[in-house]
Amino acid sequence: MLSSCDTLIRAGTLVTQDENRTILNDAAVAVTGTAIAAVGPWSELGGTPARETLDFSGDIVLPGLVNTHTHAAMTVFRGLEDDLPLMDWLTGHIWPAEARLTPEIVVTGTLLACAEMLATGTTAFCDLYIFERAVAETAAAVGIRAVLGEGVFDTPNASYSNLDQAFAKVDDLADFCRGRALLTPCLVAHSVYATGHDTLARLAGLARDRDLRLTLHAAESASETAMCLERFGARPVEILRALGILAPNLLVAHAVDVTKAEISLLAESGTAVAHNPRSNLKLASGMAPMAAMRAAGITVGLGTDGAASNNTLNMFSEMNQAALMAKAREHDPTALPAQAVLDMATIGGARALGLSDCGSIEPGRQADIVALDGRAPNLQPPHRPVSHLAYAASGHEVRLTMVAGRVLYRDGRFTTLDYPALLKRMDKVRKWALGA
């Protein structure tokens, strides 16, 4: 019996995502400091003295969702241009606009992203962008968990004009993250075609030395593969293998155009994958062989990618799409069932990012917790909560988002983010994005 706790949450249905995928009805989660102190029936824990009790007795409580691949600040480009091929979209629209990026725009875009993520149940995200220090400062101010890396390209951009400056920014970001428990630095290359291979090897070396994740886009589409074959005489995953950087600390985003042999390479090396089904569908990049990757034992998380290619940062949409895409791809309705996509959005994502104390609701884990309005018509009748989370929830049923024991969003209100003030900046953002 627990003598006391800071916050006691009463859950109508508690989806723990523990090893046995235990689901409890009328349950309690006791939170002390940043961590979960106890989990059990309300009848046993309900009497625990607590500074605050949160009543979600009609609701579904689950671990916070983990977005393993995004570019938060790209919310400023949401809906600016759609319906174009990846390379035309990148080179004709996104990269020219990004050439005018400033840290201020990155802060505004990241704040908007944090608002959207918190309102739809995401408690941790992995971010790859430039001016990443501005992303880190924003995430720290909001109180959301983040794994962050300055994207290193060989070509100059708005954030730096040469590689020395780029690596100085990598170090500056690491310095900022030091001592901040919610922030973890990572190393980021854009891809095997936009980051030089010497630079990739250098980033991988730094990741090894500092025991950090390295992440990049790879094998996103057949056209990327064709470009790599023409320029380098090898496919993207083959290039990663030749560079010796396939490893458990590598997180590959996309992995859409991969062969059976490449799936084996990823599995044998322990490389993790961030699956971005909605971005892949919207850019017509293809359908990643997710059922085969999971069968091979690859650690897989879900990602939204940036809001310019999705166009939301809503992990419930991503779970739904991941399940449907796998079924359509395999012509098999048993491919990637509801529990599998929930696993990818929670413990799988946490594992992919190296967040070993996140992703489930168990004693000792970080108190990253979400509650969904169980009375919503689309979540009734209460047959199987995991089915509802994967196939029926929209994300807009979220009533509570807690990160490390702190309530950041509750019943439509943000506790650390001034949303009305943020909305006032959107006209300015629109003018900036249009080049005015």
Binding stretches for Zn ion (CB under 5 A): 305
For residues 278 and 321, is the Cβ–Cβ distance under 8 A?
yes
For residues 193 and 229, is the Cβ–Cβ distance under 8 A?
no
Q: How far is the CB of 400 from Zn ion (least distance, A)?
A: 29
Ramachandran class of 50: left when φ > 0, alpha when ψ lies in -120 to 50, beta otherwise: beta
By C-beta, is 122 or 366 nearer to Zn ion?
Answer: 122
Q: How far is the CB of 130 from Zn ion (least distance, A)?
A: 13
By C-beta, is 23 or 287 nearer to Zn ion?
Answer: 287
By C-beta, is 14 or 117 nearer to Zn ion?
Answer: 117
* Cβ neighbours for 427, distance < 8 A, ≥ 6 positions apart: none
Q: Would you call the peptide bond into 236 cis, given omega within 30 degrees of 0 as the criterion?
A: no
Query: In Å, how far are 74, 260, 328 from 168, measured between CA atoms?
Result: 23, 39, 45
By C-beta, is 305 or 397 nearer to Zn ion?
Answer: 305
Q: How far is the CB of 310 from Zn ion (least distance, A)?
A: 10
* Cβ neighbours for 106, distance < 8 A, ≥ 6 positions apart: 73, 129, 130, 131, 134, 135, 138
Q: How far is the CB of 354 from Zn ion (least distance, A)?
A: 19
By C-beta, is 304 or 346 nearer to Zn ion?
Answer: 304
By C-beta, is 280 or 320 nearer to Zn ion?
Answer: 280
Maximum CA extent, the chain: 67
CA dihedral 179, 183, 189, 190 (to 10 degrees): -150
Residue closest to 325 by CA, chosen among 277, 390, 274: 277
Q: 23-37 burial string, b = 16+ CB within 10 Å, else e?
A: bbeebbbbbbebbbb
Q: How far is the CB of 303 from Zn ion (least distance, A)?
A: 8
By C-beta, is 222 or 295 nearer to Zn ion?
Answer: 222
Read off the DSSP letter of residue 366: B
Q: How many CA atoms lie within 13 A of 386 on its CB side?
A: 19
By C-beta, is 91 or 378 nearer to Zn ion?
Answer: 91
By C-beta, is 80 or 376 nearer to Zn ion?
Answer: 80
What tokens were used for 31?
């939170």
By C-beta, is 278 or 388 nearer to Zn ion?
Answer: 278
Read off the DSSP letter of residue 285: -
Q: How far is the CB of 70 from Zn ion (least distance, A)?
A: 7
Residue sitting closest to Zn ion (CB)? 305
Read off the DSSP letter of residue 93: I
Please list the residues that pair with 403 across neighbouring strands: 406
Q: How far is the CB of 306 from Zn ion (least distance, A)?
A: 6
What tokens were used for 167?
């690596």
Q: How far is the CB of 87 from Zn ion (least distance, A)?
A: 14
Q: How far is the CB of 217 from Zn ion (least distance, A)?
A: 5
Residue closest to 42 by CA, chosen among 63, 57, 64: 57
Q: How far is the CB of 128 from Zn ion (least distance, A)?
A: 6
